Homo-oligomer: A and B are copies of this chain.
Amino acid sequence: MEEALRHLEAHREAYLDQLFAYLRIPSVSAQSDHDKDTRAAAAFLRDRMREIGLEADLYEGDGLPTVHGRYAAGDDRPTLLVYGHYDVQPPEPLDLWETPPFEPTVVDGEIRARGCADDKGPSLALLLAAECWIRATGSLPVNLKVAYEGEEESGGSVIERYLEEHREALHADALIVADTPGLAPGTPALCYALRGLVALEATVEGPSRDLHSGSYGGAVANPAAALARMITSLHAPDGRVAVDGFYEGIPPLDDAERARLARLPFDEAAFLSDTGARDLRGEEGYTTWERRTARPTCEINGIFGGYAGEGTKTIVPARAGCKITCRLVPGQDPAAVQEALARHLAAHCPPGVGLDIARGPVAPAAFMDPETPWAQKARAALERAFGAPPALTREGGSIPVVNAFRTILGLEALLLGTYAPGEKAHSPNERYPVEDFYAAIRTGIFLFAGERPSRR
């Protein structure tokens, strides 16, 4: 392992150059006129994997390819599956970039380029960790399987088909994903929970056409008012979701968990200034971190109905609707929550109007026990690489591919947060500290070392 680390030290410049070459490829998957570039990024990755010593190829599907690679260390060695993505967010709005998005530039020790943190830097770092082992010692101590997709930012499904078609071949002891942020500059993170999702759209049907409010107003039910009443019924005054059965199955947040979340830094002034929110509001009895990551929510994403243009239009609208998404936490059954929500809305639909419910996608929450042997090994690798123990964090959002790995391969992800947060992953001037790049390579070197961990 020392040799691998020394190899890294001797190749700092060369590896940074490699990342820069990768970052210069504008692999914007959401923009089809960049398809050639995105495929160039896939080819770059495949070629790099082959140079490193992996068998590598492109898996083609209905969209952009998944680059897959494999290194066989022997049946007695542990097997790691590594996920990443080579596509990046669109760089727009371009005029807000201080340096060109596809011309990586180091400013104050930070690389600036689209995709540097999300996810080219961290995902390339894990391949370079393998290279350090192989170049320095002649071999990698683990069986390595790599699947880097090109549609993470555009919502494609090629990676899922790849997983489905290679169920057996992708058997592994652990799944490594380096696509979430660390806690703070210098402090990495292991994210151990993601929230799930339930989406639903409700449309309240009133008269068969918009009615003149002078001739008909006051004599028929107004669907916009009916909708408002239904939306109001969704929350109790204390901020709890008032839907029967909504909280079913959720274990109480235990003291250890609450203590863990309480240790995460929270700067209220910065939060309010960033969001523009007037103050902190949410379910009573919980902290903001808990509300954002460990408690389920029910949010109105949009409302619509009747006249929304300039001035006044004196109508009783024919219909009104809203889009609702709930964020779920481990223990909740997404299908059951969706049904409970639909039932609640139907029960609270005022008389005189009809109700149409359209069920949207659902995804379960994920809990990835941070105390498993592999999680502990990952935490130790992060700690050695960064010189600071990783924070244990929860994310409030969902990562669909994590669910795909669980349902298709039965693997829970180890979400390594190796880059400083707040580097505007989807915004102009995306940045990535150069030292985080090297620390991420070291994390890989430590993670690939040694034996299969076992429960202590």
Contacts and interface: CB of A to CB of B under 8 A. Distances in A.
A277 B222 CA distance: 10
Nearest to A312: B199
A307 B325 CA distance: 12
Contacts of A431: none
Interface residues of A, number: 77
Interface string A292-331: 1001110111111111100111111110101101010000
A277 B219 CA distance: 10
A78 interface: no
Given A218-B295, A277-B221, A351-B281, A323 B300 contact: no
Interface stretch (A104-112, A224-232, A252-260, A401-409): A224-232
Contact of A303 (B232, B278, B280, B306): B306
A400 to B, nearest CB: 12
A211 interface: yes
A218 B327 contact: yes
A1 to B, nearest CB: 37
A396 interface: yes
B276 A207 contact: yes
B292 A317 contact: no
Contacts of A454: none
Nearest to A361: B312
Copies in the complex: 2
A279 interface: yes
A376 B317 CA distance: 39
A214 interface: yes
Given A219-B291, A291-B219, A353-B278, A317 B302 contact: yes
A305 B305 CA distance: 10
A215 to B, nearest CB: 5
A215 B352 contact: no
Interface string A193-213: 001010100000011110111
A216 B292 CA distance: 6
Nearest to A272: B220
A241 B248 CA distance: 38
Contacts of A280: 219-220
A348 to B, nearest CB: 11
A126 interface: no
A360 interface: yes
B307 A313 contact: no
A300 B228 contact: yes
Contacts of A410: none
A157 interface: no
B218 A292 contact: yes
A214 B396 contact: yes
12 contacts: A211-B275, A218-B291, A218-B295, A218-B327, A219-B281, A224-B322, A227-B303, A276-B318, A278-B352, A301-B315, A304-B308, A308-B323
Closest 3 CB pairs between A and B? A208-B276, A214-B397, A302-B306
